[in-house]
């Protein structure tokens, strides 16, 4: 194929051809110059530049926070990388806080770095995630399924009751609903979604909405 071709995760360029490095389904997107990638399933996250992830603050080292993102190394986050942060106006981040941010540097040679601000200087939803709520881990394939436009699972869940959801590409999901019971119900559904078929899921949701 002529023109610029995008080869995504799971594929590597070697010489004039492509090598497959992961097992899975090969996907193709004809729009925007054509793109091929391998849709594989895994639980372990590898930091990638531009990905939005949820990190847990493990340490404060001077001006930089160390975040655990589920990768091989803790990521670093500077205190100036928040919206409206200056040397005097520091963000109120404690050890154990949850932070939603994106990677700015993420390759195998260097320690990953994160920021909570996008290229235009606005936070656009990134930063410290509020109090309460429940954080749990799922596989990366499920996250991508949930983030697909018009995801059925999310649409069905949104009919049940009001809740808030933050999905990180590192497999971590944070849920918050009005009561603890509701939160736990949502967590159980999301965890079980991986192995349930669509029918089983609808049955389970019908039981819940009946109750």
The residues binding other proteins (CB under 8 A) are 2-9, 11-13, 16, 18, 27, 29, 35, 37, 48-52, 100, 124-125, 144, 147-149, 151, 154, 157-158, 161-169, 176-178
d(CA 81, CA 85) in angstroms, rounded, equals 7
In the complex, least distance from residue 87 CB atom to other proteins, rounded to whole angstroms: 27
Backbone angles phi, psi at 114, to 5 degrees: -120, 160
In the complex, least distance from residue 158 CB atom to other proteins, rounded to whole angstroms: 4
* Per-residue DSSP letter, 161: S
In the complex, least distance from residue 198 CB atom to other proteins, rounded to whole angstroms: 19
- Of the pair 93, 129, the CB lying nearest other proteins is at 129
In the complex, least distance from residue 178 CB atom to other proteins, rounded to whole angstroms: 8
- Of the pair 39, 64, the CB lying nearest other proteins is at 39
| Tokens 């909405």, residue located | 209
- Of the pair 64, 111, the CB lying nearest other proteins is at 111
19 CB-near residues (< 8 Å, 6+ apart): 11, 12, 13
In the complex, least distance from residue 153 CB atom to other proteins, rounded to whole angstroms: 12
Distance of CA 211 to the CA centre of its chain: 31
Q: Is 171 exposed, middle or buried (0-12, 13-18, 19+ CB in 10 A)?
A: buried
By three-state DSSP, how is residue 36 classified?
A: strand
| Tokens 């606005």, residue located | 122
- Of the pair 8, 84, the CB lying nearest other proteins is at 8
Return the structure tokens found at 119: 């290229």
- Of the pair 134, 161, the CB lying nearest other proteins is at 161
Q: Is 116 exposed, middle or buried (0-12, 13-18, 19+ CB in 10 A)?
A: buried
- Of the pair 77, 153, the CB lying nearest other proteins is at 153
In the complex, least distance from residue 196 CB atom to other proteins, rounded to whole angstroms: 20
């Amino acid at each position: 194929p002529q023109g610029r071709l995008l080869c995504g995760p799971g594929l590597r360029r070697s010489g004039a051809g492509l090598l497959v490095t992961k097992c899975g389904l090969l996907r193709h997107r004809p729009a925007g110059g054509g793109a091929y990638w391998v849709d594989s399933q895994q639980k372990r996250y590898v930091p990638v530049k531009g990905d939005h992830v949820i990190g847990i603050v493990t340490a404060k080292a001077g001006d930089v926070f160390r975040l655990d993102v589920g990768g091989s190394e803790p990521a670093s986050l500077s205190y100036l990388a928040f919206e409206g942060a200056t040397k005097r106006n520091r963000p109120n981040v404690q050890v154990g806080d949850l932070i939603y941010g994106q990677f700015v540097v993420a390759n195998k040679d260097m320690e990953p770095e994160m920021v909570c601000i996008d290229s235009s200087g606005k936070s656009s939803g990134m930063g410290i995630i509020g109090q309460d709520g429940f954080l749990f881990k799922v596989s990366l394939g499920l996250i991508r399924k949930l983030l697909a436009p018009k995801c059925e699972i999310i649409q069905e869940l949104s009919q049940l009751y009001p809740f808030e959801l933050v999905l990180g590409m590192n497999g971590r999901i944070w849920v918050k609903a009005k009561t603890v019971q509701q939160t736990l119900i949502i967590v159980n559904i999301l965890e079980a979604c991986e192995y349930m078929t669509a029918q089983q899921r609808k049955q389970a949701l019908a039981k819940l909405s009946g109750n």
